[in-house]
Structure 1
Amino acid sequence: MTFLRISVTIMFVVLLGSILFASNLPHNVQKAIPKANIFQAENPSLNEGQILYRFTSNDSVLWNEDWETGTLGNWWTLDETDVGEKWHLDDWMAFGGSGLSWWMADTTLGTNGGYDNEWYQVIDTDPIDLTGTANPTLTFQSRWSCEPPAGATPPYNGWDGMNVRVSTDGGATWIVLQNPTPAYTATSLYSFGVSHGEGPNVPGWAAQQLTWTQVTVDLSAYAGQTVQIRFAFASDPAASTADPPSGDPSWFAWQIDNIEVADGANVLFSNDGTPTGMTPSNNVSIGGDLWHIATGVGLPSGSYFADCNDSLTGTYNPNMINSLISEYVWLPDTLSAI
């Protein structure tokens, strides 16, 4: 036998009536389309070498949902903007071969762990006092693997990527630190610029640096001030660890270790893979989980439907990626491949 799960993901208001009319589905999720008494599941975007299965029953409806119970029942909802904090301490490929390093990843994704689409994950240092310094410098160990920049269209020359930032106002605003060594591999990343609204000319590292490498950044412009350092990673709507074939399951995102701010021999801040002094967070604006059952007239059947909006105002939120996911649906073994 075969089981199928149906998912509907929206970025704006849609109304669902009897059974399921699906739109804006995420990658590799199948559509369910009612046709008289025939249930049909098909993939709207097959790649070469893939097989489309159509499941039919000429004498009975295999599965039906009209929400006439007045509840979502066995369906469940998911706010895909609320992914949580992904920076964490981990011993996988840690710097020096042992201990823990900071890793921006979901360890359940890909070959060893990695990232998904539309992420914006940051980790910030505690405030660092640069009073009395002359030539403060940031150094840290780094390795990364993410979407390569090929194919990006001007003014962008990269897709997913990462950079280092500084704040002098307690984290209210952040400025990308320029001229690190090694240099950023892209001068304008689409993920930061378009997906997360920061505009063009946000630089960062992209593609791969598989061996641990020391990064050095001059902080002398901030001598005499109190600063915080931010390590920021952003991804766009497609091609990630979790999104083959456009993405790659081996992309492990970003690891850092041995973070130090020093003025000569005077060490002002250090973190070598310990939880103190660092604060991770999800930097995406949470869109909200607004799916609910509502009543209406003129529906395909009954008086209830699944609705995704604010039930009080009838509006939806910015940045929504809100999914409604079915229970598993049993399908008979009599399948035909077309």
Structure 2
Amino acid sequence: MFRSINFNAGPAALPQEVILKAQEELFDYHGTGMSIMEMSHRSKEFHAVHVHAQSMLREIMDIPDTHEVLFMQGGASHQFAMVPMNFLHPGQTAHYILTGTWAEKALQEAASLGSVDVLASTKETGYRSVPAELSKKPLHSAYTHITSNNTIYGTQWQSFPEVEDRLIADMSSDIMSRKIDVSKFSLIYAGAQKNLGPSGVTVVIADKDFLGTAQREQPKILQYKTFSDSNSLYNTPPTFSIYMLALVLEWTLERGGIHAIEKANNEKAQLLYHEIDSSEGFYEGHAEKGSRSQMNVTFRLPSEDLTAEFLKGAAAEGMVGLPGHRSVGGCRASIYNAVPITHCEALAEYMEKFRKKN
């Protein structure tokens, strides 16, 4: 069976074992005579899937009891608005650290709802790094918002900033890729379609005390409390996406959990960065070394013609998803958890062969 060597930025590669398991269970889930897509979200069968997914995510990420695990819809872009709607109170300012396009979009949503300020930014240098330090101390701050990994530019926070207020993170593109201290965050959100499963479900991990400070003037469907009080079942959840999330979490545990995943991700990234660094400038990385992403490796070739030739040759080798984002150009290899190391080895070998040829 043909499978592409998939470097798409999102929706992204899923573990082959997960897809085959879903295929096996698609028509008749556990002897119910129904697909998981057909059954009630309030059935005992789906309830078991839902609770199991929450439990496994807690185990893998070591989420403390102080934090809720919610399954929501609308993707990270929906959270851009929900966060300030719930937590940006009158008389307060929300602080944003700009490290790329998605951080900008989050800021724009908040700016339409209340007072915002940019705490730090690397926009002037082309988003080649994350800020080395924060230049301002926030006053009357509601929270500080960061984007932990920047898919377009290939940068990532290696260690998270120390802030004096509540820290909120969009972790859509590197959640569950490495060990983090969840307790340092008041709220984490992530669209599933990069490391957690297919698109459709958004994971929210929120400090319970922080949830208690949310404004209550919003429509119920836009309040985190609504989803917390109903165990994410206020309305019909994305049942199939949650089921697929559960399968991905099972796959993660079978492979040794977060420590094994982090080790594999480091090895995959090192393969590609080695080709960039040893190419004597033939491949030029977009991100500065201290801010390099383990999830999205971005680079350029000496000319647009060579870039086009490189991408054409990669496609002939069965590799997809390598063109860089339209706003940056160049090339991008997204090497999320489900991308096997053999795929990164194949890309590294192709990069070396193409460089020697040209």
TM-score bracket, normalised by the shorter chain, equals: under 0.3
- Higher Cα Rg, which structure: 1
TM-score by length of 1: 0.26
Larger RCO (CA within 8 A; separation ≥ 6): 1
Higher fraction of strand? 1
